[in-house]
Homo-oligomer: A and B are copies of this chain.
Amino acid sequence: MNDTAKTGSQTSWLDQVKWNSEGLVPVITQDFQSRRVLTHAWLNREALALAVQEGRAIYWSRSRNKLWRKGEESGHIQKLHGVFLDCDGDTISYLVEQLGGIACHTGRESCFYRRLEDGNWQTVDPVLKDPTIIYAGGKATH
């Protein structure tokens, strides 16, 4: 994973991804050891190319309409250990090492911290760190 990822003959793997009409595909991010799903996000071509080039998870933020280098505000960078493509070519998955052990902007390990139990969404994960501390001096946007 080096800067040849952006050069001519090395970009065909990016062409094999079936970007949607907005130029995006969803990406599932898992912890590389526990395999817990940490986040569901989106990628454009540039985000995926840069993630592979830089060896860290980079996404496309649909709400902010810009590249999102995970951890740029929180310090909770995700080191990239693997990139996978699904059978239809329209979904990516990342295997990552989550620095700080916190992927969610709420201060939890994973964004999927609510489990359906008896017809209610129950919070089943603790807040590991207060988000106001994580994002001190910054905006809480993961």
Contact = CB atoms under 8 A, between A and B. Distances in A.
A13 B119 contact: yes
Contacts of A83: 115-116
Dominant SS among interface residues on chain A: mixed
A129 to B, nearest CB: 15
Interface of A: 4-5, 10, 12-13, 16, 26, 28, 30, 34-37, 39-40, 52, 82-88, 91, 93, 104-106, 108, 111-116, 119-121
B36 A116 contact: no
B121 A16 contact: yes
Contacts of A26: 26, 40
Given A35-B35, A121-B13, A115 B84 contact: yes
Contacts of A111: 86-88, 91
Contacts of A37: 28, 30, 35, 37, 93
